[in-house]
């Protein structure tokens, strides 16, 4: 049993780590390590590891521009989905609302279709006036908000439900109006949970391809995944394309490491009992 | 300080009346307890006084002013929740100062009152701690302090001791009583624990199914319970109930006879006025011991005198002075005077 367990874990790890390894390896490969002409096998590790491709990317304005676009789109999606999602979730968590099941169903509906069919009406809407007057960054941000909102609402609903109602009533009894109860009691307590929703939204946006593609393929301003496709269309070398992939992954990995500890800490400890 | 008056207060949830036509006067400076089993409406009554529940009908007056339509913050009340509801992201100090801050008190007054509460409740040295770094008793005191710094006219306490372990609960009970003596605020206290109600209250109101069955001092209710429920609910171990026809001094089948364990005495020889039984087990509660006696009407508990030895598994007769018997109407459950 023990051996089997380790073998299984090993297999799973291999499937996760191996592609990452290959991607990283190619991104730092020198020319001889990838262009072998069949004369010798590709080395397990590059002969002469080099950061050349990263340097090249750094010097290319369009890559940085796509990175910045992705960043802005992500932040916009986070802002929109929290501004809309948190109050919605609060209302869903605290008040009895008739027809709530139907509301929640509609909220989820956009995710019930495959993205490739859902994108058509959404793009159709966003690419016609008055929306089309907005900059592409905002359009993609809105589309990503649409995709993230159901999750934001569901996560935030759970967050608000986990905050004891007593705390709000207590603030109320101590004289706090609704607004300061929300700002001084609820918001600080909900923050870690809402942070989780924000991170989820940001990653969704950072990775999202289909909606971003439909909304930006005509223009020059694109997000990183769409940019990657454009590069792919002129069949570049493995090392160049891998370097782009690495740069798309790195922020996600670093960010996850930084925040996961904070997200796990339950801030409500000690509130009741 | 203030008096609180409830007039025909009713609170319905859907069709169920959680509080059913309750009228009650809480005197200025009084410690009044609402006591009853869970679901009897005592917490709902308290929440209605606090302004957290809107009465379906009836009125609430604080110091003669009708407060039905006032939000909690305008009622000059303060409330401590069963869960303490401390704000987990704030230090003890910030928790204590929260209400003062909302009421826009100056920094000097704020500091003065917080200091007063900290000293009153023995929280010195804990000002900068977070609730999660406090023990249960300390949290309870912070919750109490947070309510007290606002100098409320009425202090509402909803089962404030029920989350503490038994030993701490007893200590906090004493502290609470001493505190009330010192600050003399009107307190309405909710508990399901009759012992707590007995020891703390100036007066108590026994509730069941949304109604108040009896209001009186602990002594009055113990000595003269208004009905079978109050009689059985107040006192530990509870009063024994026997059908009237089985008690030789009564011989009336329309009556239920209640006898407190301490009002029974034991005879090993036959007594005509006695009830026959066979001793079963003895329960020792430190200073007192109780013998459970198997009679034809079930187990009857009797408080043993200190000089009585072990009496297990012996036939015996139980007697009581006639004036110590509580007689209740069998059909209504009400006391027959």
Domain ranges of chain A: 1-50, 60-264
- Residue A231 touches partner B, C-beta closer than 8 Å: no
pLDDT at B250 over 70: yes
Mean pLDDT of B113-126: 88
Interface test with B, best of A171, A174, A176, A190 (most B CBs within 10 A): A174
Q: What is the pTM of this model?
A: 0.78
Instruction: Give pairs for B301-306: CB < 8 Å, separation 24+.
Output: B301/B237, B301/B240, B301/B261, B302/B261, B302/B264, B302/B265, B302/B266, B303/B261, B303/B262, B303/B264, B304/B266, B305/B265
Please give the C-alpha separations between residue A186 and each of A7, A25, A260, B121, B210, in angstroms, as whole numbers. 47, 47, 21, 28, 33
Q: Which residue has the higher pLDDT, B234 or A29?
A: B234
Question: In this structure, which topology does domain A60-264 adopt according to CATH?
Answer: MetI-like fold (1.10.3720)
Largest CA distance in chain B: 77
Please give the C-alpha separations between residue B211 and each of A272, B30, B58, B149, B264, in angstroms, as whole numbers. 30, 21, 14, 33, 32
Chain A residue closest to B131 (CA)? A270
**Contact across the interface for A273 and B163, Cβ inside 8 Å:** yes
What is the rounded distance in angstroms from the CA atom of residue A267 to the CA atom of residue A260?
A: 14
List chain B residues with CB under 8 Å of A170.
Answer: 79, 81, 85, 87
Q: A94-103, A121-130, B184-193, B305-314 — which one is most confidently predicted on average?
A: B184-193
Homologous superfamily assigned to B4-233: P-loop containing nucleotide triphosphate hydrolases (3.40.50.300)
Q: Is the peptide bond before A130 cis (omega within 30 degrees of 0)?
A: yes
Query: Any idea where the domains of chain B sit in the sequence?
Result: 4-233, 240-329
Average pLDDT, rounded, for chain A = 85
List chain A residues with CB under 8 Å of B139.
Answer: 270
What is the rounded distance in angstroms from the CA atom of residue B173 to the CA atom of residue B163?
A: 13
- Residue A173 touches partner B, C-beta closer than 8 Å: yes
What is the rounded distance in angstroms from the CA atom of residue B11 to the CA atom of residue B48?
A: 8
- Reported as a pLDDT band with limits 50, 70 and 90, residue B209 is very high
What is the rounded distance in angstroms from the CA atom of residue A87 to the CA atom of residue B25?
A: 42
Residues B329, B336 contacting (CB under 8 angstroms):
yes
Chain A residue closest to B75 (CA)? A173
Best CA proximity match to A225, nearest among A73, A58, A118: A73
A129: which 2 tokens? 């006036």
- Reported as a pLDDT band with limits 50, 70 and 90, residue B59 is very high
Q: Which CATH architecture group holds B240-329?
A: Beta Barrel (2.40)
Best CA proximity match to A222, nearest among A140, A144, A142: A140
Chain B residue closest to A187 (CA)? B89
Read off φ and ψ for residue B254, nearest 5 degrees: -95, 10
- DSSP reduced 3-state for A29: coil
* Pairs of residues, one from chain A and one from chain B, whose beta carbons lie less than 8 Å apart: 78
Point out the residue among A164, A172, A175 whose CB comes nearest to the CB of B83. A164
* Confidence (pLDDT) at A268: 42
Mean pLDDT by 10 residues, chain A (273 residues): 90 91 87 77 79 83 89 94 90 84 81 86 88 89 92 88 90 87 87 85 91 87 89 83 87 77 49 41
ipTM, two decimals: 0.80
A95 sits in which H/E element: none
List chain B residues with CB under 8 Å of A172.
Answer: 52, 71-73
**Contact across the interface for B52 and A272, Cβ inside 8 Å:** no
């Amino acid at each position: 049993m023990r051996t089997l367990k380790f073998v299984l874990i090993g297999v799973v790890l291999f499937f996760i780590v191996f592609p990452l390894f290959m991607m990283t390896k190619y991104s730092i490969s020198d020319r001889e390590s990838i262009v072998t002409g069949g004369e010798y096998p590709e080395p397990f590790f590059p002969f002469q590891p080099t950061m050349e491709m990263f340097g090249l990317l750094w010097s290319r304005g369009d890559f940085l521009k796509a990175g910045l676009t992705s960043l802005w789109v992500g932040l916009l999606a986070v802002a929109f989905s929290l501004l809309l999602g948190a109050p919605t979730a609060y209302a869903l968590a605290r008040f009895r609302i008739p027809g709530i099941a139907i509301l929640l169903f509609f909220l989820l509906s956009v995710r019930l279709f495959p993205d490739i069919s859902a994108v058509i009406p959404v793009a159709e809407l966003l690419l016609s006036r008055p929306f089309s007057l907005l900059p592409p960054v905002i359009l993609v941000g809105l589309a990503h908000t649409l995709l993230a909102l159901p999750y934001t609402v569901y996560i935030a609903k759970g967050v608000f439900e986990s905050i004891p109602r007593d705390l709000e009533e207590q603030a109320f009894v101590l004289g706090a109006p609704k607004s300061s109860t929300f700002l001084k009691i609820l918001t600080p307590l909900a923050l870690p949970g809402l942070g989780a929703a924000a991170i989820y939204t940001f990653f969704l946006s950072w990775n999202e391809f289909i909606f971003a593609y439909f909304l930006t393929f005509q223009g020059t301003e694109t997000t990183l995944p769409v940019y990657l496709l454009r590069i792919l269309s002129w069949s570049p070398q493995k090392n160049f394309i891998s370097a782009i992939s690495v740069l798309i992954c790195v922020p996600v990995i670093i960010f996850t490491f930084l925040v996961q500890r904070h997200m796990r800490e339950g801030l409500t400890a000690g509130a009741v009992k | 300080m203030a008096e609180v008056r409830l007039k025909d207060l009713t609170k319905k949830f859907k069709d169920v009346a959680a509080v059913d036509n309750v009228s009650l006067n809480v005197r200025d400076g009084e410690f009044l307890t609402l006591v009853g089993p869970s679901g009897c409406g005592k917490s709902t009554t308290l929440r209605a006084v606090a302004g957290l529940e809107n009465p379906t009908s009836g009125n609430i007056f604080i110091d003669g002013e009708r407060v039905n339509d006032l939000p909690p913050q305008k009622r000059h009340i303060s409330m401590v929740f069963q869960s303490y509801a401390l704000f987990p992201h704030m230090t003890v100090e910030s928790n204590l100062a929260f209400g003062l801050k909302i009421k826009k008190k100056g920094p000097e007054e704020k500091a003065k009152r917080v200091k007063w509460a900290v000293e009153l409740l023995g929280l010195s040295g804990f000002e900068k701690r977070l609730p999660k770094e406090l023990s249960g008793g300390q949290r309870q005191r912070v919750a109490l302090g947070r309510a007290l710094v606002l100098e409320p006219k009425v202090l509402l306490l909803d089962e404030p001791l029920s989350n503490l372990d038994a030993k701490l609960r007893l200590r906090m009970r004493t502290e609470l009583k001493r505190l009330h003596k010192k600050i003399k605020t009107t307190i309405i206290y909710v508990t399901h624990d009759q012992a707590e109600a007995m020891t703390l209250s100036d007066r108590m109101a026994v509730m069941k199914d949304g109604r108040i069955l009896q209001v009186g001092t602990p002594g009055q209710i113990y000595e003269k319970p208004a009905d079978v429920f109050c009689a059985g609910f107040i006192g530990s171990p509870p009063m024994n109930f026997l059908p009237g026809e089985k008690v030789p001094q009564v011989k009336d089948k329309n009556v239920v006879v209640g006898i407190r364990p301490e009002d029974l005495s034991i005879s090993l020889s036959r007594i005509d006025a006695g009830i026959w039984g066979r001793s079963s087990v003895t329960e020792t509660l430190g200073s007192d011991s109780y013998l459970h006696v198997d009679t034809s009407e079930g187990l009857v508990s009797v408080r043993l005198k200190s000089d009585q030895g072990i009496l297990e598994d012996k036939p015996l007769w139980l007697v009581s002075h006639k004036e110590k018997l509580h007689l209740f109407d069998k059909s209504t459950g009400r006391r027959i005077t």
